[in-house]
Chain A
Amino acid sequence: MSESLRFHFNVDGSNFTTAGQASVQVKKNLRELGIPADAIRRVSIAMYEGEINMVIHAHGGEADVVVYEDRIEIILNDHGPGIPNIELAMKEGYSTAPDNIRSLGFGAGMGLPNMKRYTDKMDIETELGKGTKITMCVNF
């Protein structure tokens, strides 16, 4: 299937109050496409966690959601510090979020694990000092 549809978002890293809005919007768009409800939910949770991560750790970045007829790809790109130890970062409960963020209830160390749990496939490409690219896929 060659046809695809792309939604593009600039995730603003300087404004914490707007974090998470792209995922709400993606949900609306996917509903209009008639994507199954369960897939929409998984995409929006994975997207939400990814967006929050980009804002907390990487001063924002870019998010692309590409819809195919049988799957949805989420591509998150940032130019942040990179992830030094992916295995550790994937552990539930492990977090490097600063205290001021934790006071809002974030930083529970569930971001990446949730992204993996709610998607069918997740790839992390990261380079210290350069940035991180996460590609996730939800089949339906």
Chain B
Amino acid sequence: MNTYEHSVSLDESRCTGCTTCIKRCPTEAIRVDGGHAVINSDRCIDCGECIRVCQHHAKIATCNKLDHLYDYKWRIALPAPSLYGQFEGLEDVDYVLQGLLDMGFNDVYEVSQAAEIVSEYTRLYLKTEGIKKPVISSACPVIARLIALRFPYLKDNLLPILPPMEIAAIEARKRAKAAHPELKDEDIGVCFISPCPAKTSYVKNGFGEYKSNIDLVVSMSDIYFSLLNLMSRDKVPQPVSNSGMIGISWAASGGEATAIFNDKYLAADSIENVVEMLDQIENGTIPQLEFIELNACTGGCVGGVMTVENPFIAKARLQTLRRYLPVSQNFLTDDKKYIPPEYFFEDIPDYKPMNRLGSSIGESMRMMSDIQKLRDGLPGIDCGSCGAPNCRAFAEDVVKGERSLESCIIRTHRIQNGEPVRKFDPSERKEDGI
């Protein structure tokens, strides 16, 4: 996993070394060290939570710049459906697509179009005998990675079909080559317009053995203003949009799940809820369900940190936008009622427990035992002043030799004043059993 290329990084010059992000990171991947935040890349799942909460804009999502587009002769835009929710008063998706064409793209292939095909495939897949249920959506890369790295028991539940953005990329390439046979592979540049850093990381790293068919990823917020300026209401756009209610609805939580046309589904969003759901699915403490849609961002993709609009407003706009659209515009024809083998991903990244303490169970046990002892002598107020998110994580850092006990200033202060370090009985407050 050391070779994994992340898409969340830090602008040191903006970081004040406050403790906001360390407290909010769901995998405790951030510490404050030397006056600024440091991200532990082994633990980071690219959820973007730290970008969302940083008031100093010190956390950044690393995407491509639009200039790289001109490295390619034939440029294709893949707008995520969440893009459509970013514009006030938008009546027709075609205005957005025309704007993209005017921006310098030669073609546009809507991800929502591929999403409708994925919905068709999912309905087919759910009827397959012998598959493990509930089937869990693999479209949110954070979920797919969380399952691979932390919930290996659920990996057979993962929908083994490529996410819509990849199918859109494959189809868009085919279309370009059919229309322009003279184009070579390297002439075609497929550019995904992404709502979140997790999708950006998916493109950079692929998934297991699968390598992404997307060449560039630009952030929705990066192109927002230039796109807005190009979206003229006076000019009638070309009618290129080809997606229906289902495709557009994929942008928000519940959209993918409702498209399976079966009421045995569940849709959960935001990272804390999702982790709790995965725990419950693993323990078998959920009702009998066919399909589970999980999104790491609140509200689904419209809640991605690279979007511009509030997720709930974006979702409301999408409801208006899809009102007079057909249910779907993309179907499998009778002769193609199967999932093409190239749209399956077979290989899932190796399970690697992300929080393992030592290299062997014995070593880990000794370390945890040391953490137990150390922790009883800490204040237990989880203030974050030491740079770790809580006293438990601090004890872990000390045992690993990554932080000195003296960096707990509360402890030092209380010892100097002759006060007890811990002001409550340590045996009372041990929700984690350690």
Contact = CB atoms under 8 A, between A and B. Distances in A.
Interface string A1-28: 0011101110000000000111111111
Given A26-B433, A65-B433, A69-B365, A31 B150 contact: yes
Interface in B345-367: 351, 353, 355-358, 360-362, 364-366
Contact of A33 (B284, B351, B368): B368
A29 interface: yes
A4 B365 CA distance: 7
B169 to A, nearest CB: 33
A70 to B, nearest CB: 9
A45 B284 contact: yes
Interface string A78-96: 0000000000000000000
Interface size class of B (residues with CB under 8 A): 20 to 34
A32 interface: yes
A25 B432 contact: yes
Contacts of B382: none
Given A34-B360, A38-B153, A8 B433 contact: yes
Given A9-B430, A21-B431, 11 more contacts: A5-B368, A7-B432, A7-B433, A9-B433, A25-B431, A28-B355, A32-B357, A33-B356, A34-B358, A37-B152, A105-B287
Nearest to B360: A34
Nearest to A67: B365
Interface in B280-335: 282-285, 287
A41 B282 contact: yes
A22 B362 CA distance: 23
Nearest to B287: A105
Given A5-B365, A37-B153, A44-B283, A31 B356 contact: yes
Contacts of B360: 34
B124 interface: no
B279 interface: yes
Nearest to A21: B431
Contacts of A105: 287
A5 B362 CA distance: 10
A109 B355 CA distance: 35
A27 B425 CA distance: 25
Contacts of B366: 3
Interface in A55-103: 65, 67, 69
Given A3-B365, A32-B368, A69-B361, A8 B430 contact: yes
B279 A27 contact: yes
B406 to A, nearest CB: 25
Nearest to B432: A25
A28 B354 CA distance: 11
Contacts of A4: 365
Contacts of B287: 105
A4 B369 CA distance: 9
Contacts of B183: none
Contacts of A35: 361
A22 B279 CA distance: 13
Contacts of A67: 365
Contacts of A9: 430, 433
Interface of A: 3-5, 7-9, 20-29, 31-35, 37-38, 41, 44-45, 48, 65, 67, 69, 105
Contacts of B131: none
A72 B150 CA distance: 20
B350 to A, nearest CB: 12
B434 interface: yes
26 contacts: A3-B365, A5-B365, A7-B434, A8-B430, A9-B433, A21-B431, A22-B433, A24-B279, A25-B433, A26-B433, A28-B355, A29-B434, A31-B150, A31-B355, A32-B353, A32-B355, A32-B368, A33-B356, A33-B364, A33-B365, A34-B356, A34-B360, A37-B152, A65-B433, A67-B365, A69-B361
A48 B433 contact: no
Interface string B187-207: 000000000000000000000
Nearest to B362: A69
Contacts of B150: 31
Contacts of B357: 32-34
A105 B368 CA distance: 36
A118 B16 CA distance: 49
Contacts of B433: 7-9, 22, 25-26, 29, 65
Nearest to A64: B433
Contacts of B283: 23, 41, 44-45, 48
B362 A3 contact: yes
A31 B431 CA distance: 17
A20 B282 CA distance: 13
B361 A20 contact: no
Contacts of B285: 20, 48
Between B284, B358, B362, B433, the greatest number of chain A beta carbons within 10 A of the residue's beta carbon is seen for B433
Nearest to B286: A105
B430 A31 contact: no
A48 B357 CA distance: 24
A47 B431 CA distance: 15
Contacts of A26: 433
Contacts of B153: 37-38, 41
A34 B361 contact: yes
Most buried by B among A26, A33, A37: A33
